[in-house]
Amino acid sequence: MLQIKNRETAKLSPLIVSALLATTLTACGGSSGGGSEQSSSSSESSSSESSSSEESSSSSSSEDNTDGAFSIDPDFQLYALADFPVGVAVSAAGESYSIFNHSDATQRQNVITEHFSELTAGNIMKMSYLHPQEDTFTFGDADELVGFADTNGMTVHGHALVWHSGYQVPGFMENYEGDFAAMLSDHVKGIVNHFESEFPGTVASWDVVNEAVDQGGENGFRQSLFYNELPPASEGDIPEYIRVAFQAARDTGAEIDLYYNDYDNTANDVRLAKTLEIADGLAEGDLIDGVGFQMHVYMTYPSLNDFENAFQEVVDRGLKVKVTELDVAVVNPYGGNAPDELEYDAALAGEQKQRFCDIARVYLETVPAELRGGFTVWGLTDDESWLMNQFRNATGADYDDVWPLLFNADLSAKPALQGVADAFQGNACNSDI
C-alpha cells in the first residue's frame, strides 16, 4: 500500500503572491460543448455542437490582471486538503517553462511545493528521453526532477513506460530484430529499478501503458509498433505487449502502483469499454492497480454523469482511479468556438471554478478513499498548456490562450483553484468569484 510522503518533514518554501492590478472587464463569455477529450495522438473528432452564451461580467471581489486573468489569494495549501496525491505536470531540463531554468523557476517551484504533493513529468520521463538506445539509459534530467520531488517530500507519478506516440518512441525499438518481449521487459525494468534504487518510494506509481485504445483500429486496439510486435495471443485477449509491460513492472517487486492510462474514456462508451477490457485482462493476473483518466475536458463536455459512471466502473473492479492529466479548456474548438470568440471574463472564470469543483466533487463522491489514486492537472500556468498547440494542429487556427489550468501566467492562483479546494473541503460548488 502506498503512503503519501510526509510533507511536514519537507523543506517548503513560502508562496510568493504577486500583487495584481485591479481593473474592470466587461466582455461576452461562452461555454463550450461537444467534441472528444483530446490527446496529442488523437486525430479523432467527434460530433460537435456549438453553444454560446452571452453574459456580462458580474461584479467581483477578484482582481484581474492586465491580460484579463482573475486571481485569488489562497489561504490554503491545496494538497493539504486531500488525503491522496494532488499532482501537477511540469516541464524540466531545458524545456520551455522548465521548473529549473525558466525565468521564473524559483517562484514556479514555490507555487508547486505550496499546492501540490506529486509531480508528473510532462515529457522528460517518456520512453526515448530515458532510454534512447538499447544499451543506454539517460536518467540525468529525470533524476533532477525526481530529486526535487524527493527533497520536497513529494511523490512522482511516472509517465509513461510504453506509449505509441512517435516523437518519444526510441528509434531502436522500430524494426527491432531481437526478442521484442524481452527487450520491452528490460526497458520497463531498467527504468523502474533505477528510480526505485536511487529514490526509494518517490516514484510511487507509473503509467505502464498509455493510450492503447483506438476505436478506429482493428478490434478497438491501437495498431502501434508495440501491438504489431506483440498482438493479442488469441482472439478476445488484450494485446500481449500490454501484459508483458505490466508483468515486467510487477516483477521488479517495487512497491509502486501500476496504471493503465487513456483519454476520451469517460463520455465515449466504446473507448471506456475497451479501457475496462484492458483493466480486466490485467486484473486477472493481479498486474494492475488502477486506471488513469487523462481528462482533457471542456466546460460542459463530458457531463458529470459521464465522469461518475466511468469512475464507478473502475471502483466496482476494486481498482484505483487516478485523474492523471486534467485540464478544462474554456474554449472548445470542436464545439464551435473560434479562437477570437471568447474573452476570459469574470463570468467565465466563475463557471470554470464551478466546473473544476464539480469534477473534484464527483471524484470524491464516487471513489472511496482507499481507491483514490490522485488528482493531477496537466500543467501549472495557463500559458504553458499544451492545448494551444494541440488545437492549432487540429484546426489550423491560432488559439492564443484557452485558460485550462489553475494558475495564471504570472503564477497567481485562479478562482479555479478555489473550486478544487472547495470540493476537497466538502463545500458546495459555486461560481462566485
Residues contributing to the site for ligand XIL (CB under 6 A) = 39-40, 122-123, 210, 263, 294, 325, 386
Q: Is 325 a catalytic residue?
A: yes
* CB closer to ligand XIL out of 129 and 263: 263
Peptide bond into 368 cis (omega under 30): no
Q: Which residue among 37, 118, 229, 325 is the active-site one?
A: 325
Please report how close the Cβ of residue 282 comes to ligand XIL at its closest, in angstroms: 18
* CB closer to ligand XIL out of 225 and 348: 225
Which amino acid is it at 135?
A: D
SS3 63: strand
* CB closer to ligand XIL out of 5 and 296: 296
Please report how close the Cβ of residue 320 comes to ligand XIL at its closest, in angstroms: 18
Please report how close the Cβ of residue 40 comes to ligand XIL at its closest, in angstroms: 4
Question: What is the C-alpha radius of gyration for the chain, rounded to an integer number of angstroms?
Answer: 21
Q: Which residue among 211, 240, 351, 384 is the active-site one?
A: 211
Grid cell 484581474 is found at 64
Please report how close the Cβ of residue 386 comes to ligand XIL at its closest, in angstroms: 4
Question: Among candidates 107, 115, 147, which has minimal Cα distance to 7?
Answer: 115
Who's near 353: CB < 8 A, 6+ residues apart?
A: 414, 415, 416, 418, 419, 430, 431, 432, 433
Residues 131, 102: contact at Cβ < 8 Å? no
Helix (H) / strand (E) containing 415: helix 415-424
Rounded to whole angstroms, the Cα distance separating 336 from 315 reads: 34
Please report how close the Cβ of residue 249 comes to ligand XIL at its closest, in angstroms: 17
Residues 414, 72: contact at Cβ < 8 Å? yes
By beta-carbon distance, which residue lies closest to ligand XIL?
A: 386
* CB closer to ligand XIL out of 221 and 424: 221
Rounded to whole angstroms, the Cα distance separating 301 from 219 reads: 26
* CB closer to ligand XIL out of 123 and 223: 123
* CB closer to ligand XIL out of 32 and 38: 38
* CB closer to ligand XIL out of 40 and 48: 40
Rounded to whole angstroms, the Cα distance separating 335 from 32 reads: 6
Helix (H) / strand (E) containing 363: helix 346-366
What length is written for the chain?
433
Residue 177 grid coordinates: 530484430
Strands 70-71 and 63-64: antiparallel
Please report how close the Cβ of residue 125 comes to ligand XIL at its closest, in angstroms: 10
Please report how close the Cβ of residue 257 comes to ligand XIL at its closest, in angstroms: 17
Helix (H) / strand (E) containing 48: none
Give the catalytic positions in this structure: 211, 325
